Amino acid sequence: MRTRLNGRVIPHVLVGLSLLAGLPGRAVGQERQIQVNGYGHQEYSVLDGAERDAFFSIGEHSLFVTGKANDRLSFLGEYVIRFTGTSSTGYLPSIERSLIRYSVTPNHAVIAGKVHTPVNYWNDVYHHGRVFFPVIDRPYAFSHFVPLHTLGVQWQGQNLGSARVGYDVMLGNGIDGTDVKKEGVSPAAMVAVHAKPIDGMRIGASYYRDYLEKNAYGAHAGHTTAPEIPVSERYTGDLDFTLFSVSLAWFGERVEFLHEHTFNNTRTDSLGLARNHADFTYLGVRLGSVVPYALNEHLRSADNDLHVYPLAKLKMAVGVRLEASPLVNLKVQVERQRETHWHDGAAHRSGGTALRMQLAYGF
């Protein structure tokens, strides 16, 4: 028996938000605060695998806009242009975040719109500006398990008590949703908690659940499957999707550390329960404006998984981050990757060694 949330929940909550927005707040008027920032990056890569390649590339560029209507009501928008290869120029724009935030009290807020789903430290803290990333790329889990975005309603608390506890509770369009609709009537639901007991440390955990009608991949997922699986052979039935995440982050004056574990369950009527997992570990040592670092990550989806399909990925890397300023840095990273897909009883392997350089900047 599947548990579904009533599709009328979201409209009722939005009505409540409209009433909240009418509560008094000090008008800023002509002194309203609007800030626009931009972020981008460029890369040079040398790949040594089945084929050898060396090339320059322009990464995604982000326009980050924040505004304040009064002392309680604020807006955040993030708009990205990235290479997709599907237009005449190869580049297309997208709305990555667009949200209205109403502060009910100084520590509690209601948010409506499209947000980065706050399931772990990385997705909650970093946005599309690579200048803030400690390494060159997002962890593997973001391409296969993590629901990148959610469009809906969020209840949030921050800095509660001496341990500076925070929470997020959210309902919205999930993995199979887009910015304008979702299959079926059951919204995705999640709850997350974290604490910051000392400066520089954050400990967090989250639970996320979605019910994917027809196992669809929408605009909010960012998920990919094994390339060897033809579209005509992919599972199109209903799928239960749950995600557990835990994070431990420590960014002190000298040592930087981040570990995130993602545990994903999918369930189908045909193959039953599949258990998937991913781990990401980063360690850096700050020597002034130079940060040498190392990372290790591993991802494995089960043999009976029908969302990602059987897959194993491994990455080990060492690098150095050179910070010219808080908004300009150069990362040089040497990495070794290995990837295996299984299809029709055969293993398809790829991987190799790469030297990558990334110039990231904000303005």
* Chain center to CA of 129: 12
The predicted-structure confidence for 242-289, as pLDDT tens digits, reads as follows 999 999 999 999 999 999 999 999 999 999 999 999 999 999 999 999
Residues 6 or more apart whose CB falls under 8 angstroms from that of 108 comprise 155, 156, 157
Q: How many CB atoms lie within 10 A of CB 200?
A: 13
pLDDT at 229: 76
Q: 350: alpha, beta or left, given left = phi > 0 and alpha = psi -120 to 50?
A: beta
The predicted-structure confidence for 194-217, as pLDDT tens digits, reads as follows 999 999 999 999 999 999 888 876
| % of the chain residues with pLDDT over 70 | 88
pLDDT at 235: 87
Could you tell me which residue, 359 or 28, shows the higher pLDDT?
359
| Domain ranges within the chain, ordered by starting residue | 9-362
Residues 6 or more apart whose CB falls under 8 angstroms from that of 104 comprise 20, 72, 110
pLDDT at 20: 41
CA distances from 317 to 35, 120, 133, 180, 323 (A): 36, 22, 15, 39, 19
pTM for the whole structure: 0.87
The predicted-structure confidence for 20-76, as pLDDT tens digits, reads as follows 444 444 444 445 688 999 999 999 999 997 778 999 999 999 999 999 999 999 999
* Mean pLDDT of all residues belonging to the chain: 88
Annotate 144-203 with DSSP letters as a single string.
Answer: HT---EEEEEEEEEEEETTTTEEEEEEEEE-TTB-SS-BSSS--EEEEEEEE--STTEEE
Q: Is the distance from CB of 100 to CB of 72 less than 8 angstroms?
A: no
Find the mean pLDDT for residues 165-172.
97
> In CATH terms, is domain 9-362 a member of 3.30.420.40?
no
Phi, psi at residue 354, to the nearest 5°?
A: -140, 145
pLDDT at 86: 73
